Amino acid sequence: MPATVIVGTQWGDEGKGKLTDLLAKQVSMVVRYQGGHNAGHTIVVDGEKFALQLLPSGVLYPHVTPVIGNGVVVNAEELVREIDRVTARGIDCSRLKVSTNAHLILPYHAALDTLREHALGDALLGTTKNGIGPAYADKANRVGLRMQDLLDADSFAVKLRSAVAEKNAFLTSIYGADPIDADELIERYLTTVVPRVTPYVADCVALLHEALDAGEHVLLEGAQATFLDLDHGTYPYVTSSNPVAGGACVGAGIGPKSIDRVIGIAKAYCTRVGTGPFLTELSDEIGALIAERGHEFGTVTGRPRRVGWFDAVMLRQAVRLNGLDEVAITKLDILDTLDEVAVCVGYELDGRRLAYPPARTDEFARCLPVYERLPGWQVDLTKCTEPHDLPEAARRYLDFLESQVGVPVSFVGTGPGRDQFVHRVV
């Protein structure tokens, strides 16, 4: 059976974890295909909140094999801590598999990330300082260490000592920071990390193809989102990997013909963490209200998210970049109290009306949003579970979004809980 990809269509935090958890009921394997522990997926089950960082969202189901694919960068110490946290809450992580080819995030990556952000001053990128970018840079430079390196203690020690020597040159001579103690780091990993994570290391490409060949349903879970994509996002205010659907092929190890369904996730409004252009951003009391009702703080960092109106121009571009078959709209209930909602339906650039974002970053920053305004519904949606439960104004809002982006809205989030959603037949 072919695979399904779930991808964020804005700047992240759209609710990918909840939809992955919802669809995981029907699959045998959930594969995280890129990103690192900078991305958090929040799932609420029977009122209990699970904030996952590296573990795929399917880990909450005992029938699912959760897989961390080769496209992910893994902080092994954070992975151990996350496994311990989840296990302490009654979740069995023994089925977890981590790709032999997933690259490691090591302490010097986080140190370099933090120092580089500090050096940028007011021009900082707004990274989480978790070492994601430096780890991907080492991967591209072909000097990174991978999960498979943990399987040979002697070889791991040699490679890590060489890497630390190189990184210390940067840390001390360029940034004036203290060097990392290679011996302490090697000892720490070999005694407290390697024994814990090596049982999970596996040939995940083989496992994935065995599942597909057996006719099993596989779900590919992205982190971050389309407009944080290294190639297609609002560069340089992006992540260091490819969250778009095409990245699922590379980050999991399958060909595009194995994918037959791509679902995009979007909030009923937009949010963004950190710096970068945000054309529909609200700096008024409505933005503050949406942020408060939506609890808009980063799952991993706790940083407040910037809030704005829904941007249909961005979503049209996301449809093109990802080949979306359908869209899930989350957090529709957050707009319940508004008497009017706005949707950005176009951009104005130097007197021209644009249906898609301009390719040039400087032009994107100069664009002005063109809005259509619709009546709000002012009805509590949190009890809605069927399409006919939604008030007419909410249905009109969803129909309007469909007409703007050209693909159907298949799922609608009406609250944080696992069962608080409406499935609209596609």
Residues 6+ apart with CB under 8 A from 56: 20, 30, 31, 32, 66, 67, 68, 221
* Residue 307: other Cβ atoms inside 10 A: 25
Contact status, residue 66 vs residue 27, Cβ threshold 8 Å? no
159 near 145, Cβ under 8 Å? yes
Which parts of 19-116 are beta strand (E)? Answer: 29-32, 41-45, 48-52, 65-68, 73-74, 97-99, 103-104
User: What tokens appear for 45 in the block?
Assistant: 């089950």
Is 18 within 8 Å of 418 (Cβ atoms)?
A: yes
| Residue 13 is a catalytic residue | yes
Residue pair 411/423 in contact by the 8 Å Cβ criterion: yes
Of the listed 13, 21, 138, 149, which one is catalytic?
13
Six-digit token string for 38: 């900078």
Q: What is the rounded distance in angstroms from the CA atom of residue 262 to the CA atom of residue 268? A: 19
The contacts of residue 166 (CB under 8 Å, 6+ apart) are 143
CA distance 222 to 228: 12
Q: Which of 21, 37, 41, 232 is catalytic?
A: 41
Between the CA atoms of 282, 288, 294 and 300, what dihedral angle is there, to the nearest 10 degrees?
A: 80
The token duo for 30 is 């959930």
How far is residue 384's CA from residue 333's CA, in Å, rounded to a whole number?
A: 10
109 is catalytic: no
Task: Give per-residue burial for 178-209: e unless 16+ CB within 10 Å, then b.
Answer: eebebeebbeebbeebbebbeebbbbbbebbb
Cα torsion 235, 284, 347, 246: sign = positive
305 within 8 A of 274, measured Cβ to Cβ: no
Catalytic machinery residues: 13, 41
